Every structure is written in C-alpha cells, then in structure tokens.
Structure 1
C-alpha cells in the first residue's frame, strides 16, 4: 500500500524534518511530504505517491538529513539551472530527488511530444518505482487566493495576478497533460510503457481573513493554508498577528521559512514591523506575499504564518475573474 501525506504522523516524526536547516533541503522535504492540494480525480487524475512503503519513507527522511549536512551538490545544481520561476525550482528539486534519492528513479524529464514539427506538449517526469511500475508525473506548484465570497468551487481560487484559475489548471492537467504519455506519437520516442499518469500538485491556498468558506470536495482538506487581506485592513490584521514581517520572494513560496539569526544577517534578510513593511510595498501594483515571524528559544526566526496583502480594488477584480 502506498504511503501518502495523510499517513505521515504514523510513520515519521515531523520533528526530524523540522530539524532541516538548508532552505533548499527544507523546500525539497516540503515538496515530498506536504499534503496535496487536490483529492484524486479518477479515472484520469490519480495522485502521485513518492513512497511505496514505510521503509522508503523512512529512508527518504534519513537521506534528507544527510543532504542537509552537506547540500553543496544540490545548491550547485540549482545555481547551474539559473532558476527564476517557482515551478522550475520545484522541477529541479524533484528531479534531484529522483536522480539521487532512495525511492523511485528518474527515466526522463521534460519529454517533448511533437507531431509534424508542432509541439503537442511535454511530459514532466517519467519515473520507475522499485517495484517496476512506470509512472508519468505531471508536477504543478500553485498559490491560489480564494475570491468566492463564501463559495468554494475551484473557479473561486485565482492566481494573485489574475492570470490563472484553479479549475482551468485542473482541466488542462486532466484533459491535456496527463493523456500525453498514452498518445500514439509518444510510443515512437523510445520510452517503453505503458505509463500510469499521475498528478503531483502541491502549493498553498489563501483565504480572506475572517471569512468562512465551504470548500469544494475536490480539495484535500489537509492542504497548506494562508490568509489574504487588503491594504486597508492590513494594519489592524498585522497588529494582532505578528510583530516581525518580511516580503517573501517567489522562490521562497514553498516550505515555511526558518532562518538562523547569523545566516539571516549575513544574507541581508531584514525583519521589520508592520508599518515599515507597508512602506516597502506601497508602490507595488499587485498582491505581495509576506510572512510573519517570531524568535524561538534557540534564537531562530520562525515563520508563524504567510499571506498576501492585496490592493483595495483587487477583491472585486478577483471575483469578476472567478466568474468569467
């Protein structure tokens, strides 16, 4: 029986993962162990499972701890890729795990499928498990803000820049991306199948502070959650939530952040109060992801929660986009 994130408390202590210090290793652990955004969508949209057995799961935790002790090779690989997009960063992390980790092995990544010179699509990962199953994984890491005023359908979850929507993304995954490996053209590429298509969709969903949402049954209730608030409401929200804040760059949108004080200072990472953060983002046109922090007993800066501060006119625009 495959092991999914919901079974983690029974088989691995989260304290061992919390001990990871290197940000890239923490991001990789989050990618592997965090809850899916969606429940399975049979018959096409089955969920990817990284671990086939409890032994593979435990071996992965040990492997991550060893990698955390010396992450230089991983960091070199990421730097060589010159990653600027969150999705590409996640691809690099998962590819590294499949190439060097203790579970399934990578057969190929980013496999283009063409017909008559036209690109039909690209398969993210072709994977073979230790038991010999051949899997086609489609990876997506998404951050959607709920804009449905209480409703919880997938169309009510929109990208911060209003260029993406959860229902449209899922439709593309189910109708276009996952079926690629079953097309006749794919058989000519030399990757012997048949391939089992599975979706690997991780990320965060953000809800307006103080609003109750009746979530769609398609969404995994254990998904990672954050909040959003307008600039007008931000001062009151911040005052009752955290004393220290920072803007999260896009490549820090995966795992909750944790910073050693010395390392944060060396990297120029500053933690500011809410008014200073407001000044910092005052001239930004769109939503900004921020995180609130506290200092723990060991002197580390630990993320308390994360969310988006959006322009005051953003909620109306988002609701209109959700209904298009």
Structure 2
C-alpha cells in the first residue's frame, strides 16, 4: 500500500468526502434533468456523456495520453476494464429497486453492499487491491458506520418520502433486497477496479476516463435498445432549462477520479466509507437548505448524531 505524509493523506481523504458531497448535488441535478428528458436512463446517459467529455478535455489540457498501449490490454485481466460497466449496472439496478422496496431500503441495501464488499476486498486482496487485515478496530468502526448510516438515512427518508405500495409478492421482497446489496457490491468493485487500473496506467485521470467511456457506451447501448432512438437528447437542447443541469457529469467525474487516487492508498473499504460520509453529509445539506431548488426538509438532531457516529466509525477504521 502506498504511504504518504499525514497532511497529504488527510487532504486526500477530505477531498474524497467533498467528492461524495458532490454526488448528492449530482442526484439533485439528475432528478431535475429527468423532468426535462422524461427518463431516468436518458438523464444518466447525459450525465455520463458530460463526464466523459469533461475528462477528455482535462486530459487534453494536462497533456495526459489519450491512448493506452496495446500490451497493457493484452497482459491485464479482463475485469480491469469493467469499472464503467459495474457502475452502470449498479445505477440502473437502483432505479429499478424503488417501486419494490421504497425509499429507505433502496438507499440502505446498496450501502450495506458497498461496505461489505469494500471490507471483503481489503481483507482478501481481491482485484489485486492492497491487503488490509480485519482488526478489532475495523470491526467496531464498521458497526459504528452502519449505526450512523441507519440513523442519518432512515430518519431523512421515512419522515418525508411515503413508501410506495410494493409491486412484489412478500416472498419476492428478499430477492429485491439481495439485488440491492448486489448493486452496492458492484459499486465497491468499481472503486477497486478503477483504483487498480489507475495504478497500472500510472494515471488516475486516464483510469477515470476509461471508466466513464465504458459507462457511457454501456448506457448508449442500453438506451438505444430500450428506446430505439436518441431524439430526447436533441429535444432537450432546444428547451430553456438552467445551465447547471448539464454539470452533473462533472461532479460524477470528480468523484470517480478521487476514488481512483485514494483507493491504492487507504484501501477500498475506507474509500467507500469516506465517500458515503460525504454523500450523507451532502444529502443533509441539500435537505436543510434546499440546494438548487430541492424541497427543503429540516434536519433533526438524531440525523446529526448519526453523522457524528459515522465520522467516529471512519476515524476508528482508518486512524487507530
């Protein structure tokens, strides 16, 4: 595992939390964008395309190479190039879960999957990730993280989002729950794979670009098969809508880039948990202040307590 000065490490961890906050803003943006394009899949595709072109522009401006040596393709495992696909499958699955599980479980189940898979990847060194033994402090920290997430997320969702009537039979609910956990696991796998790709390419930026290109292509194929055409994108450009609705992909690109940078340093589990800390913090800020026109919902003390417990869990996992 790479070692850095404490000041640099703390800065990178803070940037990962901030990038996680950015994902909460991206959710608001994509929700508004969906109202213009009429489909969550179109909104996701637009977001991925914007992120891809943004990374291409940054790659050009910074002088990083666009092309990858053929020998790297031939001498690396196939899963190294699947990060974008993992992300798209996880995203699409989450969209499908809501009618069957409701708001709370649609959030909680993938989070559990992310944390579980992140710890497993660290403990067994899957995907050639840095091997981090599962010590007592990581176990206690993990319990605190899960407690904090439940307090912060459950209170936020159950107060303001009525649960839809499930479309599933009672004996099918657990199948959807397992699917939600699996979607979260794919998210953690994406973090591990992208981090390993960045290490091999010696360029986190290039690895993030590869991931976004893969995700954009997967969504283009999916939307093309499902919708048969892409007219909604062109119709959207003719509508008078806020300029910031095009910026969701930028926030997503920043998040993926920070994951690529941090994963080889602190491991997949810690990277995932730091990102979740940022996402939940950002969600509470969105609720409290109605950022970008989101409905304002007061944040309660128990949610703040959950955030504090989550932070303590992160500190116990990483710093002790």
- Tell me the TM-score range normalised by the shorter chain: under 0.3
- Which structure is larger by alpha-carbon Rg, 1 or 2? 1
Q: Which structure is richer in relative contact order (CA contacts within 8 A, separation 6 or more)?
A: 2
Q: Greater share of helix residues, 1 or 2?
A: 2
TM-score where L is the length of structure 2: 0.23
TM-score where L is the length of structure 1: 0.23
Q: Greater share of strand residues, 1 or 2?
A: 1
